Chain A
């Protein structure tokens, strides 16, 4: 008897074929005691804590920043009043690229995609009235991560908070910048030295800080499949550990502070499988490849953000539903912290109303759905376990290829991950255009809706910001600033010293981010991506 099915081939959003039904026969290679164990036990497939969200809910951490430090400080205080439990700083593009707001390349960009931070003075305003010993802060900064972290550390000093008590994360994942997000400044090799410096400095002076958040988020946003996101991210993690080891660091001094950051896209089960496989694979990498002795070195902790690239400008209220489903996948996958996107983020930075609704989405999942009551509630599903095993196998296959290329830096120089992602992005785009993949409101179920009220950043932000930065340059002790920058240059040329103390000196002297980055540009040069 023939049966009606809607499509000839059923696949995940990543193009992986899916069977009609999964049974015990689909997972004959699953050894539950080896592959699953229990929550809180190796290989941590089922979660890193025995009690999971019964012990503590995930951190609700909304990525936020716009305009000047004053405006963003006000938004932070608002979000904290609304029950947000951690801060996450979005810097504007000039800050991410190591330019001050008055640099010609910053024209039109000031305060647009995040908050403008040019010097310590801005950072002081950003955290005004926010006690840094009580809150954890994540900062999305990569190429100039040493500079922005230094600014945060000096603000803490000024608040009288010892560095040992600071909790937070700098993204500091330069590899995925070359692979996907493209906010690089220096070439890969000196950039890796800066990362190793932060790993060492953090382990010695800021022990509760995550000096890196190895990120798949941007790889996925650039159009990768779920497997590519996972495999490239975990392999980036391997590359950082390799470089740190080569620089003489003991794995167990820094590995417990490595953290990860994944995307939560629309394909529900595929995403949950990705998070579960991530923990399992990382456990094996750390114990078998790097022979770590500290059990905490082998535990993968991660932040999740719902997929910005899945949001549509058309019928934007549909995004609320997408975000809720994606957030559910992240929680069922055992995330440690979560950002839920706002419904208007395919159009602009979120309004206060949209940002609140995004936070409420997490609060509803946490407090109303009941899914936080038990650990890994989907564990044992034939379908999910099959997907998890396949995701793991796919990682090892990519790892073999990357090993054969001589590691991730070498692979990036050859353009390998970049090409893999571009191909996946193009394949998906074509599938959407052929209506093989449906996006509600875009290629099916199209209707007109009135436009949303969106957040506008006017050019007066740039004027105010430029005026402040010029004032700082006039009022600071020029002698002190000059000698701090010269000190940094000398250390960078020497090459064998940790640059963090030198960057801290520059920051204390109110050297601007642009001046500090220019000093390093003069030594390291800049990176231009070949067209792959």
Chain B
């Protein structure tokens, strides 16, 4: 496990509902992680560039608009291209059950649906970071 876990919290797509992204960013900070929040409406290219530049261990994506099956595959493709295979990718938001296997197949580590506690997400990161 890295000394200090670095996390990029990003909101791709047009949706501006950032309550979840801001809460998880703050919870990560309270847990001692280094957090970089991208702000709203990031393209997949911007998200992956930020992950590269900031040399993060984890990317947390928040998507509530239903655009995840367009945005997330593109992000995963760009990450492969940049050889960011060791970065843990988490998705939170309104993600229907049937999309989860497809996202995991693309290399997404875990999907967190509504109602999950920040403690559970933090635990997951601690247990899985740096293992890939």
Contact = CB atoms under 8 A, between A and B. Distances in A.
Interface string A108-120: 1100110000000
B115 A312 contact: yes
A181 B40 CA distance: 11
B3 interface: no
A358 to B, nearest CB: 18
Contacts of A183: 16
Contact of B17 (A108, A182, A443): A182
Interface stretch (B19-27, B50-58, B102-110, B123-131): B19-27
Nearest to A349: B66
B94 A347 contact: yes
A187 to B, nearest CB: 15
Nearest to B11: A182
Interface in B53-85: 65-71
B94 A346 contact: yes
A19 to B, nearest CB: 31
Nearest to B38: A531
B113 A313 contact: yes
A94 B117 contact: no
A231 interface: no
Nearest to A439: B115
Interface residues of A, number: 42
A313 B40 CA distance: 24
Contact of B94 (A97, A348, A442, A529): A348
B2 interface: no
Contact of A422 (B13, B22, B69): B22
A67 to B, nearest CB: 12
Contacts of B13: 93, 108-109
Contact of B19 (A108, A425, A528): A425
Given A183-B16, A346-B114, A347-B94, A108 B22 contact: no
Interface in B9-40: 13-19, 22-23, 26-27, 37, 39-40
15 contacts: A106-B14, A107-B71, A108-B71, A113-B65, A182-B17, A313-B94, A313-B115, A348-B66, A422-B22, A432-B117, A433-B119, A439-B115, A443-B117, A454-B96, A531-B39
